[in-house]
Amino acid sequence: MNILITGANGFVGTALCGQLLQSTGHTVFAAQRQPQFLPGLKPLPITHLADLTPHLPQIDVIVHLAARVHQMRDTAADPLAAFRAVNTTATAQLAQAAAQAGVKRFIYLSSIKVNGEYTRPGQPFTAPDPPHPQDPYGISKAEAEMELRQIGDHTGLEIVIIRPPLIYGPGVKANFRSLITWVDRGLPLPLGAIHNRRSLVALPNLVDLLITCLTHPAAPNQTFLVSDNHDLSTTDLLKTLARALGKPSLLIPIPSAWLQTLATLAGKPALAQRLCNSLQVDIRPTQHRLGWSPPVSVEEAMVATVRERRKVMG
């Protein structure tokens, strides 16, 4: 089977290409802006997704990972327009061209931000929930999902949508890498009394689900939520990272309500919300429909994540 991976140079794309080349007999085409030299990989250098059109007749399945990702400090004059151009319009154009070229299946990596930002206790997000995106990135992903479903209905292209929460693993950056740095330096953190619940997904677990969806007969025209199936509080996450690092957990038990008040006074309410609020997903329908479970435990994934960081840091 011929598989095309867009965003092949990215965090998920690099891991997916590597796993496909190691464990399957598929031919893997990698759409990439920068060369990525993996033995057996067939690179397709591109500037825009439209550059892929001539190659699509030989492709059986597209895994569309390329996206304009969430921006902490967006400098675009119109952020929503910028997100829509890449995440909505270009995605729909690629899917339409794929359908016309005879591609069988289109797997789209969306985001749990389509569902919303936070969940209430005991009320995890489910795939059928009405979309409730709160920022331009989430809106663009939700609109892309709508476009893809319409294209699938009109053309017969098999659409598979996967919405992950925060993804971590070797090579992770942004806030998760900052958490690792804080714990590794032994800094006391005022995060010892946070009783929220957060769903995360380890990179190898997400990659395993993507590979499952390549050929599974029950995957087409479905939306799947994914996680490690082991939700953590922020406090538990930091303790787990400390164990993986072999460091003491220096957490000061300050109530989350106090933290949110202090963060608001400091002009950083969004940071406190990310640390203190819950975001859970229900993956039982994913497990039931696909007969799938996350193959890697949270503890294993955390150890692999911090080991890679230490290797990079020397």
Per-residue confidence band for 303, with pLDDT thresholds at 50, 70 and 90:
very high
Mean pLDDT of 28-42: 79
The answer to whether the CB of 60 falls within 8 A of the CB of 1 is: yes
CA torsion through residues 47, 50, 56, 59, sign: positive
Q: Is 137 a catalytic residue?
A: yes
Could you give the count of Cα atoms lying within 13 Å of 220 in the half-sphere of its Cβ?
10
| CA proximity to 237, closest of 283, 199, 190 | 199
- For the chain, the average pLDDT equals 90
Give tens-digit pLDDT for 47-58: 888 889 999 999
Task: Say what the pTM is.
Answer: 0.92
Least confident of 71-85, 101-115, 178-192, 210-224: 71-85
CATH number of 172-199+230-314: 3.90.25.10
Numbered ranges of CATH 3.90.25.10 in the chain: 172-199+230-314
Q: What is the pLDDT of residue 74?
A: 65
Tokens of residue 215, six digits: 């050929």
Could you give the count of Cα atoms lying within 13 Å of 29 in the half-sphere of its Cβ?
19
CATH 3.40.50.720 given to domain 2-171+200-229:
yes
Query: Which residues does 100 contact at the CB level (< 8 Å), separation at least 6?
Result: 155
Q: What is the pLDDT of residue 35?
A: 66
Mean pLDDT of 136-154: 96
Q: What is the pLDDT of residue 23?
A: 75
Least confident of 42-56, 91-105, 115-129, 259-273: 259-273
Which of the residues 108, 118, 137, 168 is marked catalytic?
A: 137
Query: Which residues does 150 contact at the CB level (< 8 Å), separation at least 6?
Result: none
Give tens-digit pLDDT for 257-300: 888 888 788 777 777 788 889 999 999 999 999 999 999 999 99
Numbered ranges of CATH 3.40.50.720 in the chain: 2-171+200-229
Q: What is the pLDDT of residue 71?
A: 63
Query: Which residues does 121 contact at the CB level (< 8 Å), separation at least 6?
Result: 197, 278
pLDDT of 117 strictly over 70 = yes
Mean pLDDT of 72-86: 82
